């Protein structure tokens, strides 16, 4: 069983998708801790509901980013986690932290990267007039919203879409892609080759 820490900052719908898939018989990963940088978010309730240990590492209680990350690192190491999944975690991580977790730190982003990095992703997509968008699960590297891509899924952008409608459609695909990516990683099928990943066939 691959031990996973999920880092959150908000409602935690992707966390829920990971909780649900980990509850399936024979799923090769388990969530050992959920860590939030913001107290009282709904994601923490979801974790508690699933009997998963939670920790709040409130960034506001630390003098700087390094001190915050030292506490974050300690909480993760204490949990025994081997992989970190960022699921709506709204803090930028330093290169030092990211490099320490190289190829063991995963994020989900609501666009088809490398298009539309950063914030206001759906507004960016609508502004650009793309006819498809989607989501990306990728390994985290120091550059924001970059790194080897593990899973992507596309969804149509409809003429009637506003940012909320597009976000809702993409969120549904996020809830498929994150569990799928976690399974691939836990099965040892994701190999990082330079800036890309190679997905291996399942063992017979
Ligand atoms: C998702 O859209 C994810 O792609 C982005 O932040 C949002 C988090 O939503 N990184 P939730 O907290 O998982 O519901």
How much distance in Å is there from the Cα of 174 to the middle of ligand 1? 8
Encode pLDDT of 85-127 as tens digits. 999 999 999 999 999 999 999 999 999 999 999 999 999 999 9
Rounded Cα–Cα distance for residues 155 and 173 (Å): 8
- Do 50 and 116 fall within a single domain? no
- What's the pLDDT band for 203 if we cut at 50, 70, 90? confident
Number of domains forming the structure of the chain? 2
- Do 118 and 58 fall within a single domain? no
- Do 51 and 76 fall within a single domain? yes
- Do 81 and 21 fall within a single domain? yes
Give the number of the atom of ligand 1 that is nearest the alpha carbon of residue 109.
Answer: 4
Instruction: Show the CA angle centred on residue 72, arms to residues 67 and 76, nearest 5°.
Output: 150
**Shortest CA distance to 85 belongs to which of 185, 155, 1?**
185
Closest CA to ligand 1's atom 2: 110
Is the pTM here over 0.95, yes or no? yes
Q: Which residue has the tokens 């593990």?
A: 150
For residue 42, give its domain range. 1-101
Q: Of 67, 101, 135, which residue is a domain's last?
A: 101
Rounded Cα–Cα distance for residues 76 and 195 (Å): 26
- Do 127 and 188 fall within a single domain? yes
Q: What is the CATH number of the domain that holds 73?
A: 3.40.50.170
**Residue 204 in this model has a pLDDT that exceeds 90:** no
Q: Which tokens go with 116?
A: 């539309």
To the nearest whole percent, how much of the chain has pLDDT over 90? 99
């Amino acid at each position: 069983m691959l031990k996973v820490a999920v880092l959150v900052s908000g409602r935690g719908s992707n966390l829920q998708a990971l909780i649900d898939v980990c509850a399936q018989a024979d799923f090769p990963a388990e969530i050992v801790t959920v860590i939030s940088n913001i107290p009282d978010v709904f994601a923490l309730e979801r974790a508690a509901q699933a009997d998963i240990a939670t920790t709040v590492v409130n960034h506001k209680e630390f003098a700087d980013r390094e001190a915050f990350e030292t506490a974050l690192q300690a909480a993760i190491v204490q949990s025994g986690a081997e992989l970190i999944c960022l699921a709506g975690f709204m803090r930028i991580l330093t290169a030092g932290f990211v490099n320490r977790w190289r190829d063991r730190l995963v994020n989900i982003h609501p666009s088809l990267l490398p298009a539309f990095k950063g914030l206001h992703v759906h507004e960016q997509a609508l502004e650009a007039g793309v006819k498809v968008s989607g989501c990306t699960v990728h390994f985290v590297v120091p550059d924001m919203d970059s790194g080897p891509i593990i899973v992507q899924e596309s969804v149509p952008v409809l003429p009637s879409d506003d940012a909320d409608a597009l976000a809702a459609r993409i969120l549904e695909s996020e809830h498929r892609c994150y569990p799928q990516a976690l399974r691939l990683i836990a099965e040892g099928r994701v190999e990082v080759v330079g800036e890309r990943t190679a997905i291996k066939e399942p063992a017979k």
